Amino acid sequence: MTSLLPWIALLLPLASMFVILLATRSLRTLSAFISVAAVLGSFVCSCLIFFQQTSAAAAICWIDLAPLFSVPLGLTLDPLSRSMLFMVTGVGAVIHIYSLGYMSADAGKSRYFAGLSLFMFAMLGIVLANNFVMMFIFWELVGVSSYLLIGHWFERPAAAEAAKKAFITNRIGDFGFMLGILMVWTGTGSLVFTEIAAGMAKLTAHPSYLTAAALLVFCGAVGKSAQFPLHVWLPDAMEGPTPVSALIHAATMVAAGVYMLVRVGFLIDASSGALHVIAWIGTITAVLAALMATQQNDIKRILAYSTLSQLGYMVMAVGLASGQAAMFHLFTHAAFKALLFLGAGSIIYMLHHEQDIWRMGGLAKRLPITFLTFLVGTLALIGFPGFSGFFSKDAILALAYERSLPIFAFAAFTALLTAFYMTRLVVVAFFGDARSPHAARGAESPIVMTLPLILLSVPAAIGGFGFFARNFLSLPNETKPVVAVPVIALLALLIGVVSALLLYRNRTTEPVEIELFRNRFYFDELYTALIKSTQGLLAAIAAFIDRWILDGAIVRGLSGGTWGSGFLLRLLQVGNLQAYGFLFGLGIIGLIYFTVFH
């Protein structure tokens, strides 16, 4: 059954953006409500799609040169995209509502909501695309909207820098992604996912070609999902407004990379070499990011590193050839991480943009709803039994245990670290005495902000139970249950929590200083130095080539030559009719000679 519902869900936010930009830019509150209405509309459509189990959408052929090149403009609706659609619009709707409160006094509110609408459009496009071309276009659009939203407070240099960094880092990954798409297209002759899947035989015949293509496609996910070594942009992206961090840099956009990998799972699973690389990239990201998180003081940055680490888990699961486990964790993570970010936003909002956890303290009493919901999010994140994160993380750990023990060891270690840094965050921020005047006077946020917290804490708490999760996605099939996995996971959890409790209870300053972790393994410094030195050298060489070889020899010579020949040819255009007639006749004689005597 074809249905227009997905198109409506997709295009509503776009329409909202245009209305805001063209008509209601000066009416800030109206703009906000238009945007919220659009995303709610999309959400309703997604619910209808989800519960009616609509399976195919109307498809249009965009460019059709059948033997040569054709791009169908089609949407895909399978269980994967249906539940992703539901999740994205659901979380999106909650965060739009939350933004009404968080951004209520912002001067650029219209611009902000237009940006959010653009983002929703682009993100839904990625989710629904049934071919690589559309996905790539929306992929770039997501990058643009992320750039705009990170740089929302562009008058702050840090925000402008962060926006630029995010965009450029993403472009590096996207370049590889594009090459990968071109390789797949060359190999199979199609850009549509289903057709590529059908034509995989052409690719599997050349294993090294396939591996290269899969890894290049993975590059796109490395950029967008902030995997090592392109992870550096995500923490900086926290310069954007907190709802943006929650929506884009925790729940949806950064998950797009994982979603894409699962969507083209048939491609990646076919190459064991690529799988191996992907699994290890995910593992490295998970461990490194967790280590860095233990020494951060900015509440949003802690959450950002935790996001990196959790994304590492998902990519690890993809690399272990289980898209279901990755998607499972993606869903639970979207709920609890959005919840945590919004909770952090609520704190930041009430403390007048104070983000240092050492300047908080004692917030549990003053912001009870925020505290309780934040606690739910934390328990889910560290994988406390019964909460959603427990189930999804357990699925990945079990998978790792079964496939690769070294990866399992790292994953378990990451779980320990996760428990450690989250306990540290909660203990320092919410307990003890208030350590700044703002923290001492803070009060609970308005209902428009606490309601989303409560709404999100429901899936964060119970989202992992099979009876609930099964409605949304196909759960990773349980192989024979191994007792060791949950036991080790619980052990890691306990060690992490207890050590953090012992270390940070009633402290007012950081008791352990590990410079290496605090400075994020000096990645940024390394990249800066690398860029500076190579860039200087490259620039010098390029300038030399440009000035002397390209400009001097080739361009001047060529343009001199072309201009010269142009002048010469113009001489033929004498304006004399007899001369023209002569040339005309000469042309005919030349042609006949060429044809007959050649």
Partner 1 sequence: MSYLELLRLAAPEAIVVLTAFVVLTIGLVTGRREAGDTPAATAGLGALVAALGLAIAAATIVRLPGHATLFHGMLVVSPLNSLFQVIVLVLAFFTVILARGERLLPNKGEYLAMILLATVGLMLLIGSEELLMIFIGLELTGLSLYVMTAFDKASQTSAEAGLKYFLFGSMASAFTLFGLSLIYGFTGTTSLAAIGPRLAEQALPPLLFVGIVMTLIGFLFKIAAAPFHLWAPDAYQGAPVSTAGFIASGSKVASFIVLGKILLIGFGPVSGSADWHGLIAGWTPILAVLSALSILIGNLVALVQKNVRRLLAYSAVAHGGYTLLGLIAGGRAGFSATLFYTTIYAVTLVGAFGVVGFVRRENGGDDLADFAGLRARSPLLAGCMAIFLLSLAGLPPLAGFFGKFYLFSTALRAGANHGLLWLVALALFGSLISLYYYLIVLKVIFLDENAQATPAVARYDFEMRADYLPKMTLLVLAGAVLLLGIIPGTLVARILASFG
Site for partner 1 contains 62 (CB under 8 A) = yes
Site for partner 1 contains 562 (CB under 8 A) = yes
User: In the complex with partner 1, which residue's Cβ is closer, 67 or 157?
Assistant: 67
Q: For the stretch 269-307, what's the b/e string if a residue is b when 16 or more beta carbons lie within 10 angstroms of its beta carbon?
A: bbbeebbeebbbbbbbbbbbbbbbbbbbeebbbbbbbbb
Least gap, CB of 555 to partner 1 (angstroms): 11
- Answer for which of 65, 105, 502, 512 binds partner 1 (CB under 8 A) is 65
What would the x/- binding string for partner 1 be over residues 575 to 594, using CB under 8 A? x-x--xx-xx-xxx--xx-x
User: In the complex with partner 1, which residue's Cβ is closer, 1 or 596?
Assistant: 596
Least gap, CB of 589 to partner 1 (angstroms): 10
Site for partner 1 contains 443 (CB under 8 A) = no
Measuring CA to CA, which residue among 306, 485, 283 is closest to residue 395? Answer: 485
What would the x/- binding string for partner 1 be over residues 11 to 50, using CB under 8 A? ----------------------------------------
d(CA 287, CA 282) in angstroms, rounded, equals: 9
| Tokens, residue 197 | 């899947």
User: In the complex with partner 1, which residue's Cβ is closer, 62 or 522?
Assistant: 62
Query: What are the Cα distances from residue 78, in Å, to 57, 175, 451?
Result: 10, 28, 31
d(CA 478, CA 470) in angstroms, rounded, equals: 13
Query: What are the Cα distances from residue 285, in Å, to 37, 307, 310, 439, 538?
Result: 38, 10, 9, 34, 30
Q: Tokens 């993570």 correspond to what residue?
A: 333
How many residues sit in the footprint of partner 1 (CB under 8 A)?
32
Least gap, CB of 205 to partner 1 (angstroms): 23
Could you tell me which stretch among 62-70, 122-130, 328-336, 445-453 binds partner 1 (CB under 8 A)?
62-70
* Residue length of the chain: 598
Residue 479 contacts residue 400 (beta carbons within 8 Å) = no
User: In the complex with partner 1, which residue's Cβ is closer, 353 or 598?
Assistant: 598
Residues 291-330 that bind partner 1 (CB under 8 A): none
Could you tell me which stretch among 157-165, 184-192, 524-532, 564-572 binds partner 1 (CB under 8 A)?
564-572
Query: What are the Cα distances from residue 526, in Å, to 163, 519, 523?
Result: 20, 11, 5
- Answer for which of 68, 105, 443, 502 binds partner 1 (CB under 8 A) is 68
d(CA 369, CA 455) in angstroms, rounded, equals: 12
User: In the complex with partner 1, which residue's Cβ is closer, 466 or 561?
Assistant: 561
- In this structure, the strands spanning 69-73 and 60-65 are antiparallel
Helix (H) or strand (E) holding 305: helix 299-319
Least gap, CB of 515 to partner 1 (angstroms): 49
The site for partner 1 (CB under 8 A) is made up of 61-65, 67-69, 562-563, 565-567, 569-570, 572-573, 575, 577, 580-581, 583-584, 586-588, 591-592, 594-596, 598
